[in-house]
Chain A
């Protein structure tokens, strides 16, 4: 006996390849596990306005930096300006420049972003920042305030809550501090005193159809092992709406040299698109893991959607024959019948199949009297099948049964061969065997159809090619199954009874 090791290795490898490819496609590329999943894409337009003074102009806009979002697409509109996008780690930016400009200038930057599929968790900041000491009496008020909220809190989360409550109360210390500092700034200082990493950022609320928006001040704070984004200032923003963090730390949002009265305004619009399409669009932008199926013309893609269902059908056939022990005529005939069921829908398909086969058998029994050679008899049956299909189609159309028109989807040659084999079987072993094998093929075809037509399986078969590696592994494993078939348990039943 040859060693089973290479075989088990192959099966194991197929499983690993299959599962890891599915995992990669799902988590890294964002292909959804269910079809029809939608994702939101936000289109953000920054409009920069300033009055140029006639000198060389440089305008530098800081670009959003938020790892919870992925940039899908971006472009700029800026007539006559030279443009450069810098992807610097700390502060990405776009810079426009022009030798000479005068009067009102408008520059546009547009970006499409979507939620990141698998955002790398931002690590906890290391080292604590030095807290800047305020002038008296502000510093004393701050210290008092800190003592108050600290004594009332149990942990970091409740400290944050206490601080927010205090900032909205009419506490004296708060009133003093508020006279010269913003709420966010006081909050940040309080948190830093508690050695909770905190920073002020500015973000854009992503809400569909908003125009002339500006960035709102927010506080990013790290507790419970993750970053939280808080709106301390107004306490009004809707938690439901996503916020894109635009500006972190020091650099200003917009620097204009050679212009004055500069301002930035944002417009936001949202579009939804199919998650699969979006994932594949992203994939074709150079991810080497792309299998290239999505770059094919649409017609070929649709063809592949059909072809990639065949392994599922094969799996069903192997299972029903090896594990269950169903008898059917031919291995692939049921799969091909199942593929035509997909076109015809089940009920139409079954009725059509029975009609064609029984009408074919009748005519074939006449042909058998003619003493034809096999090849010409098969060819004659092919023509007869075409005739039957034509007659049924025309008849059904006249009767107004448009569903019956799908009968044309049956593969002619397969039907002819089926009829021929069934008819021989009838002559040789009688009608009963025809019934057994015929209904066996039918059951296999119907089960294969039910699986192949399942929307989830169709989605998986085309979008996760790893599924086929798993199917292959399962088929190989069943090829080595040496146990009893289910129907053999019935067949050998006398063997398990009383007799010694």
Chain B
């Protein structure tokens, strides 16, 4: 009674449900399974791209890199060749500093939201990136220009003004929990849940939707398009699981979040890896992730399992 009075959950109940809190994530998983020296593998998007190429992990094409302030105007040389593109800081975090341009026309550059930005604003954005405004600790950074994802039409009507992506938590190489993130008008085309994107819990075994949340609260239909989430079935789910599992070898991180997009032509591609994935995925799935993490911790990790073996394990054990 008391806890509901103050809108607080009973901590024992949360523990029974295996909900992981921020402190446990930081202490028991991130700091224990993610070697600090490996962080640049995921924090530096250029490095991530090179690693991905080495490991045969599909990623969006790299259109160009701007490293110096005096090169900033070259950005338009690159942009002129491509209609849509995405400019991001190589060392950005939490989706900060990402500028997505869907198309270029006489009005300027059109963002996912439909608003236009001017050349000056593009230049300012790139020089902000170079000065390190979005990078951790304000270190000098480089701007990475990436090809735009042509997202799979299966998501039509489900994601508003932005690219939907699939976040998988991969623990020790095992895809363990998944969620589909759908941009909303409120999230300004971004797939970050705390900015208002919708999170749809996905069954790891089948790729089927379970339930959806926005702002940590369960919802049934998309707030902008009113489409229901219940029938979502992500196709290519198997290859998506393999892709996510392969990110373990690629990054070396024991606990990571892989953000995967489905491209119309190229199929699943890794958009970004995250060494500190958030916890909203538990709310989207309606289940805590501690039981699965503990189950995986008891496995024998001495002999390296192949990606296929790990995906099979995940599919047979994490079906709900």
Contacts and interface: CB of A to CB of B under 8 A. Distances in A.
Interface of A: 1, 322, 325, 368, 371, 373-375, 424, 428-429, 479-486, 488-497, 499-500
Interface of B: 3, 7-11, 13-15, 17, 19, 21-24, 27-28, 32, 69, 96-97, 120, 123-124, 127-128, 131-133, 195, 213, 216-218, 282-283, 286-288
A476 to B, nearest CB: 12
A277 B193 CA distance: 58
Nearest to A436: B194
Interface centre among B3, B8, B15, B283 (most CB of A within 10 A): B8
B22 A483 contact: no
Nearest to B286: A499
17 contacts: A1-B32, A371-B120, A371-B123, A373-B127, A373-B131, A479-B27, A482-B21, A482-B27, A484-B11, A485-B22, A489-B9, A492-B9, A492-B282, A493-B8, A495-B282, A495-B286, A496-B13
A484 B133 contact: no
Nearest to A376: B131
Enumerate the 8 nearest inter-chain pairs by beta-carbon distance, A residue then B residue, closest first.
A374-B131, A496-B9, A482-B24, A484-B21, A489-B8, A496-B13, A493-B9, A489-B9
A371 B15 CA distance: 50
A489 B127 contact: no
Given A429-B195, A494-B218, A486 B19 contact: no
Contacts of B282: 492, 495
B18 to A, nearest CB: 9
A496 B14 contact: yes
Contacts of A492: 9, 14, 19, 21, 216, 282-283
A491 B288 CA distance: 13
A480 to B, nearest CB: 6
A369 to B, nearest CB: 9
Given A424-B133, A495-B9, A496-B9, A325 B22 contact: yes
A496 B282 CA distance: 12
A331 to B, nearest CB: 12
B10 A496 contact: yes
Nearest to B215: A491
Given A494-B217, A495-B286, A371 B124 contact: yes
B7 A428 contact: no
A317 to B, nearest CB: 15
A496 B195 contact: no
B200 to A, nearest CB: 15
Contacts of B286: 494-495, 499-500
Nearest to B96: A428
Contacts of A481: 23, 27
B140 to A, nearest CB: 10
A482 B23 CA distance: 5
B243 to A, nearest CB: 29
A489 B128 CA distance: 37
Contacts of B131: 373-375
B13 A322 contact: no
Contacts of A486: 8
Contacts of A368: 124
Contacts of A496: 9-10, 13-14, 17, 19
A1 B283 CA distance: 28
Contacts of B3: 489
Nearest to B6: A490
B201 to A, nearest CB: 11
B11 A489 contact: yes
Contacts of A500: 286
Nearest to A2: B32
B96 to A, nearest CB: 6
Given A371-B123, A374-B133, A495 B23 contact: no
B283 A494 contact: yes
A491 B281 CA distance: 12
Given A374-B132, A428-B96, A495 B19 contact: yes
B33 to A, nearest CB: 11
B88 to A, nearest CB: 13
Nearest to A489: B8
A117 B127 CA distance: 67
Given A424-B133, A495-B9, A495-B282, A485 B21 contact: yes
Contacts of A371: 120, 123-124
Given A374-B132, A489-B14, A492-B19, 13 more contacts: A1-B32, A374-B128, A374-B133, A483-B11, A483-B21, A484-B23, A488-B22, A492-B9, A492-B216, A492-B283, A494-B216, A494-B286, A496-B17
